[in-house]
Structure 1
Amino acid sequence: MLTKQSKIGFIGTGVMGKSMVKNLQAAGYTVHIYTRTKSKALDLIKNGTIWKDSVAEVAKDSDVIITIVGYPTDVEEIYFGANGILEHAKKGSFVVDMTTSKPSLAIDIYKQAKSKGIFALDAPVSGGDIGAKSGKLAIMVGGDQSAFNTLLPVFNVLGENIILQGSAGAGQHTKLSNQITIASNMIGVCEAIMYAKKAGLNPERVLESITTGAAGSFSLSKLGPRMIQGDFTPGFYVKHFIKDMTIALESAQEMGLSTPGLSLSLELYKELADKGEEDSGTQALIKLFEN
C-alpha cells in the first residue's frame, strides 16, 4: 500500500514531466528526480525535489519509479542493463513508463520486472503541456489490476481520465490509437483555418462556432488558436509526434491494417521537420499550408 510517505522517483523532466513532478509535490509526495541535463531541473530542485545523480540511485531510493522520456531507445537504456531501473529497483516496488513507446517493449519491461518481484505498468498520457500543468491528463494503462489499484491515487494527481485498458502493452496500443486520431485531425484543423482565411473570415470567430459542434476536438480548440496567433511553442514536439506516428504505422502494418490518414500526416510532419521545425510544437504544421 502506498502512502504520502512513499517516495516517488521521476526520470525525465521535460515539457510534460516537469509539470507532473510539480503536481506530485503539491499533493505531498517526496519526489526524487533524474534527468540528463541537470540545469533543466534546477527550478524543481529549488522547489524541494531531491536530485539523484543516476537512474540507479533513483531506482534504489524510490517506492514508485515513473519515467517519461523521448524515444523507445531511451526507455531501453534506462530500464535495462547494469545501471538500469530493473537492476536496482527494490523488490515490491512499482515502475511506470509513461513514455509513448512500443507495445512490445512494454511487455518486455513487464516480464523482466515480474521476474524480479517488481510491478510494472505502461501508462502513456495525452493532454500535452496544458493537461500536465492542470493535472488533467488522460492516462491509458496496461498491466495488472492489483498494481493499477495501488497506483491509482498517484495517477489521480496527474490526470482525471484514467483507464486500465488491459494487460501489459495495452496502454501503449491505446495511446497509438490516440495518436492515429490526432494525426488526421491536425491536417483538418490546418485546412479549416486556411479555408476560413481564404474566404475572408475571421478565423478566431470561426473557431468560436465550430469548436462546440461536431468538429470539436482538443486539436481544434487548444491548438487552433495557437496556429492563428503564430504561437509554435511546443506543448508536444514535432519530433516526438513523428516518433509516435512511426511506431503506430509500424504496429498497424504488423497487424495488416491500412492507415492512409496516418501515412499522409507522417509524410507532412517529416517535411515540416526537414524545414527545421522538429523542435516546434505540433501546431507548426500550419506553416506548410500557409506556404
Structure 2
Amino acid sequence: MTLKIGCIGLGIMGRPMAGHWLAAGHDVTVWARRPETVTTLLGQGAHWADSPADLARQVDVVFTNVSDTPDVEQVLLGPDGVAEGARPGMIVVDHSTISPTVTRWLADTLAERGIHLLDAPVSGGERGAVDGTLTIMVGGETAILERVRPLLEVVGRTITHVGGSGAGQFTKACNQLIVAQTMVAVSEAISLAEAAGVDPAAMREALMGGLAYSRVLEVHGERMIRREYPPGFKARLHNKDMAIVLRAAADLGLPLPGTALSAQWISAAVGLGHGEEDSAVVAEVLRRLAPPGPMNGGNRSPLATAEQE
C-alpha cells in the first residue's frame, strides 16, 4: 500500500528530504510556518495544507523536522496540531533532535489517541539530506518502523533500529557529543600546527591516512583551514543539541566532563556571533586565544631556554 506523506519542517534538512520523496513519486503534503520556504516543493507537485491538523487529515504518515523540543510539542499537540487531525493508526516520524525524556512522553500521549511515534533523528548534515545518504537512528516499535522503512530508504543510507521510544534521541545525543569533542580536538590540532609554523593542510593530509582519521577531520578540518563556515549544521543548533545531551546526562546522574567542555566551546562561538555559521567555527574561538604568528625557537633548545628562564 502506498502511504501518503505529510512533511512539517522544511528547512536545510527537511526540504531536500521532501524533494526526494516527491522525486520518487510519492504523494506529499507540506505545511510550514513560512509558506515561502515551500515554493519549490509546490512547484514539484507537493500539496499545501493550512495547518498541521489539516495536513494530518490528508496523509498516513507525518514526518517532522523542526528545531527544538517545544516546536515538536507545538506541531504535534498544540492548537491545530497534528493530533487534532490524525486518525487512529497514523504514524509520526520525528527527525528533529529533541529531549529523549519529552520524546517518551510524546509517544505515550500520542499512543492514547492511537497515533504511533517513531523518534528518528538523523546525522549527515545538509550534504547527507541533499544526497539522500543520511544516517537514521530509530526508536519505537519495530513493526511501525518496517511500515515506513521504504520511505526512510529514499532519504537515508543507514537505518538502524536502536530500541524503544526515546532510544533514537539518546543515540543522537551520543552522536552529537562525539562530533563536538572531535571537532574541538581537530580545532586544537590545527591551532597547534599554525602556532608551530606547520602547514595545517599538510598536517591534515598526513593524519587522514592514520588512526586520527575521522569524517570530522576530513570535512570540518578543511572548513577550519579554509576559514569558511557555510552552515551544514548551524552552531546555534549544535549548541541546543549539547544542552539536550547535558540535560539527559544530568537526569541520569551521569557526569560527562569532556562533553561539558566541548559544549562550552560551541556556546562561546554562538556568544561571539557565529550562531548562523557551521559549528566548525569553534576553530575561530581557539584562534582568538592563539599567540600571534608561529613560534620561533630557532636552533635553541626549548629545554635550555626554559632552564635559563
TM-score computed with the length of structure 2 as normaliser: 0.90
TM-superposed deviation, 1:111: 1.3
Of residues 60, 69, 72 in structure 1, which corresponds to 2:69? Answer: 72
Distance 1:213 1:62 in 2: 49
TM-superposed deviation, 1:185: 0.7
TM-superposed deviation, 1:266: 1.4
The answer on whether the counterparts of 1:96 and 1:120 sit within 8 Å (CA) in structure 2 is yes
TM-superposed deviation, 1:22: 1.3
The corresponding residue for 2:151 is 154
Of residues 232, 235, 242 in structure 2, which corresponds to 1:235? Answer: 232
The corresponding residue for 2:252 is 255
Q: Following superposition of structure 1 onto structure 2, how do residues 193-212 of structure 1 map, counting pairs within 5 Å?
A: 193-212=190-209
TM-superposed deviation, 1:98: 0.8
Amino acid at match of 1:138: T
Amino acid at match of 2:257: P
The corresponding residue for 1:20 is 17
The corresponding residue for 1:179 is 176
Distance 1:31 1:198 in 2: 52
Of residues 239, 261, 266 in structure 1, which corresponds to 2:263? Answer: 266
The corresponding residue for 1:170 is 167
Distance 1:213 1:29 in 2: 43
TM-superposed deviation, 1:249: 0.4
The answer on whether the counterparts of 2:94 and 2:118 sit within 8 Å (CA) in structure 1 is yes
Once structures 1 and 2 are overlaid, which stretch shifts more, 58-67 or 22-31? 22-31
The corresponding residue for 2:276 is 279
Of residues 111, 115, 118 in structure 1, which corresponds to 2:112? Answer: 115
Match status 1:104 vs 2:101? yes
Distance 2:19 2:56 in 1: 19
The superposition leaves residues 101-150 of structure 1 with CA deviations (integer Å, 9 ceiling, x where unpaired) of 11122112211222222221000011101111111111111100100111
The corresponding residue for 2:59 is 62
The superposition leaves residues 64-90 of structure 1 with CA deviations (integer Å, 9 ceiling, x where unpaired) of 100010010101111113311122112
The superposition leaves residues 41-71 of structure 1 with CA deviations (integer Å, 9 ceiling, x where unpaired) of 2222222222222111111111110001001
The answer on whether the counterparts of 1:86 and 1:112 sit within 8 Å (CA) in structure 2 is no
Distance 1:241 1:159 in 2: 21
TM-superposed deviation, 1:186: 1.0
Amino acid at match of 1:173: F
Which runs of 5 or more residues in structure 1 are unaligned?
none
Of residues 115, 131, 135 in structure 1, which corresponds to 2:128? Answer: 131
The corresponding residue for 1:40 is 37
Equivalent residue of 2:13, what SS? helix
The superposition leaves residues 209-253 of structure 1 with CA deviations (integer Å, 9 ceiling, x where unpaired) of 222421122211111112222221111111111111101101111
Match status 1:225 vs 2:222? yes
Equivalent residue of 1:15, what SS? coil
Distance 1:244 1:70 in 2: 10
Amino acid at match of 1:200: G
The percent of aligned pairs where both chains have the same amino acid is: 37
Rg (Cα) greater in structure: 2
Q: Which runs of 4+ in 1 moved over 6 A?
A: none
Distance 1:205 1:104 in 2: 44
Amino acid at match of 2:237: H
Once structures 1 and 2 are overlaid, which stretch shifts more, 111-120 or 62-71? 111-120
The answer on whether the counterparts of 1:140 and 1:164 sit within 8 Å (CA) in structure 2 is yes
TM-superposed deviation, 1:165: 0.7
Which runs of 5 or more residues in structure 2 are unaligned?
289-309
The superposition leaves residues 165-195 of structure 1 with CA deviations (integer Å, 9 ceiling, x where unpaired) of 1110010011001111112111001111222
The answer on whether the counterparts of 2:51 and 2:81 sit within 8 Å (CA) in structure 1 is no
The answer on whether the counterparts of 2:119 and 2:138 sit within 8 Å (CA) in structure 1 is yes
Distance 1:41 1:231 in 2: 28
The answer on whether the counterparts of 1:100 and 1:172 sit within 8 Å (CA) in structure 2 is yes
TM-score computed with the length of structure 1 as normaliser: 0.95
Of residues 137, 142, 148 in structure 1, which corresponds to 2:139? Answer: 142
